[in-house]
Amino acid sequence: NNPPAHSYRRTLRKMAASVAGSLVVATRITARKALAAKRVTVAPSIRARAFRGASQIVMVSRVEKSDAEWSKELDKTSFQVLRKKGTEPAGTGEYDKFYPTEGHFVCKGCGNPLYSAESKFNSGCGWPAFDKCYKGALITETDMTFGMKRVEIMCAACDGHLGHVFENEGFTPTMERHCVNSVSVKYVEGAPETPLEEEKVV
């Protein structure tokens, strides 16, 4: 005997559902494989800082030492400022009123090039002032000491404290004033060994 027509229809529906389900599963598996393949083939992220407008790769070699080591290499005032975030008295610094027409300034702790002579200007604040730095030379942190919010600037190579940066005062076109302790830096005649671009830090 032949089964009733409605039985055939039920069977066909089950078969269609089974095929559809298999297709969905197959599609999901294919999609997962495709995503996995993409994850494998995508180049790994480059863990490096991207500097605004940079047209060259900036490499800064880290210099890490203990306080005991720094205290042996630095004079007492430089150690207090660079490593303990102190501040020299206003108007007393060696480079406060020093305006060379060439050369550059490096970190007194590690020698990392920080500022060109051209970036230094007279702000009248009592500390050396610069309106830009070499790309990648500095790092910043928010400083909440003394009940106010400031932006601390440090050497990117050794984390030595340099001072603070202030914005929108109108001194120069960059609208930045890097207020730097003289004892944190050292003047070097001539240009850095490798030509360096300059940028704002904030």
Residues assigned a catalytic role: 179
How many angstroms separate the Cα of 157 from the Cα of each of 4, 58, 79, 136?
86, 12, 16, 9
- The residues facing 70 across adjacent strands are none
Q: Distance (Å, rounded) from C-alpha 158 to C-alpha 190?
A: 23
Assess contact for 98 and 116: CB atoms under 8 A: no
d(CA 28, CA 17): 16
Strands (E) located in the chain: 104-107, 113-116, 120-121, 129-130, 133-134, 138-143, 150-155, 161-167, 176-180, 185-188, 198-199
